[in-house]
Amino acid sequence: MALKAMRVLVVMALVAALMQLSQALGIAQFRRIAAQNNVTFMLVFGDSSVDPGNNNRLATTTKGNFLPYGKNFFNGRPTGRFTDGRLATDFIAESFGFTNAIPAFLDPTIKKIDLLHGVSFASAGSGYDDLTANLSAMKSLGATRLVVVGVPPLGCMPIVKTLQDQTACVESYNKVAASLNSKIREKLAILRRTIGIKAAYIDCYDIILDAVNKPKKYGFTETAKGCCGTGTVEFGDTCRGLTTCTDAGKYIFWDAVHPTQKMYQIIARQGLESLDVNALF
């Protein structure tokens, strides 16, 4: 089926996911509205926060296709996801009823049928380049709906706190993240007016910051370090083969940069519940 014959939901992620917007929806209601509008396909663009394994096939040292990454994924196998299990985009796809794990476009075992409901082009370390041009190109290919996920509170990452020799979140880094998120929202408003694409913004900043400040609310006990190794500096290859915490579900971060599967699930759930339906449908 050609892209132009589909209603396409594009999820672009910078470093992770989601915030409260007006006119919140329940998951079941959102799935029903999506089905009524024939939203059947999800494309994912971003970095290591949503890379399901594309970097396994790229000439880069930024990989997560070894244990303990994937420790809590299906069958306890590493896939290239930089966490212990699934990503926020996997949970979002599952909420839509598409699939329980978005495949990587470069996965050599991927089948045509796997592409019917979604695929990820995300690559760890890629970040963003020209947002406006990319959105225009997507619209010309048939993308009709866009969800852009902002950046998290960077100053709360364990590695940032370690490098800055601080125990609390580094406020200067958080201010940069908040400023970027503000500019993204402004850019989306302009694009909605100029190219007419339906778009919504999801900000993970407040969700993660709330979890850091109120861990008991979410069942967390550790907010300052990751589950892998010392949890203060390890991520990617420096996490290879290291011991981990006993229960990753008690940790916000899996390594010194990336959230745990549980945190990603919280991000996905709260993000979908907070989406502004009028912005997308």
CA distance 209 to 4: 39
Report the length, in residues, of the chain: 281
Q: Is 232 a member of any domain? A: no
Q: Helix and strand tally (H, E) in the chain? A: 9, 7
Residue 104 lies in a domain: yes
* Burial classification of residue 88, based on how many CB atoms lie within 10 Å of its CB (0-12 exposed, 13-18 middle, 19 or more buried): buried
Residue 101 maps to a domain:
yes
DSSP secondary structure string for all residues of 48-84:
TTT-SSGGGGSS-S----STTTTTTSGGG---S-SSS
For residue 120, tell me if it sits in a domain.
Answer: yes
**Domain-embedded: residue 227:** no
| Residues identified as active-site | 48, 255, 258
Q: What is the DSSP string of 14-25?
A: SS------SS--
User: Which alpha helices (DSSP H) does 214-280 contain, by range?
Assistant: 215-218, 261-274, 277-280
pLDDT at 178: 97
Tell which phi-psi region holds residue 270, choosing left (phi > 0), alpha (psi between -120 and 50) or beta: alpha
What total number of domains does the chain contain?
Answer: 1
> The domain containing residue 177 runs over which residues?
3-154+171-213+261-280
In order along its 281 residues, the chain shows pLDDT tens digits of 333 333 345 554 333 333 232 234 566 776 777 778 777 788 898 999 999 999 999 999 999 999 999 999 999 999 999 999 999 999 989 888 888 999 999 999 999 888 888 899 999 988 655 555 566 677 777 777 888 888 999 999 999 999 999 999 999 999 999 999 999 899 888 888 888 888 888 889 999 999 999 999 999 999 999 999 999 999 999 999 999 999 999 999 999 999 999 999 999 998 888 777 677 77
Q: Would 203 be classed as within a structural domain?
A: yes
Residue 8 lies in a domain: yes
Token pair for 118: 């979604």
Residue 240 lies in a domain: no
